[in-house]
Amino acid sequence: MSTLTPIGEIMEANTTELTARCQKILEPPAFGSFVKIEEPGGMAVFAVVYNTTTFSTDPTRKPDFQGKTLERLLQEHPHYYDVLATDFSGLMIGYQENGSVRQYLPPRPPQMHSPVFYCANEDIRKLTRDLYFLRTILLPMNAKVPADELVAAVIRHAASAGAGDFDFLVRAGKEVAMLLRSDYDRLCSILRRLEH
Helix, strand, coil fractions of the chain, as percent rounded to 5: 35, 25, 40
CB 161 within 8 A of CB 124: yes
- Domain ranges (residues) in the chain: 8-193
The string of pLDDT tens digits covering residues 44-92 is 999 999 999 998 888 887 777 778 887 888 788 787 778 889 999 999 9
In the chain, what is the straight-line distance between the N-terminal and C-terminal CA atoms, in Å? Answer: 35
pLDDT at 3 over 70: no
pLDDT tens for 14-57 read 999 999 999 988 899 999 999 999 998 889 999 999 999 998 88
How many angstroms separate the CA atoms of 101 and 97, rounded? 7
Q: Residue 134 to residues 49, 131, 171, 174, 180: CA-CA distances in angstroms?
A: 13, 6, 12, 11, 11
Is the distance from CB of 88 to CB of 48 less than 8 angstroms? no
pLDDT digits over 106-148, tens only?
999 999 999 999 999 999 989 998 899 999 998 877 778 899 9
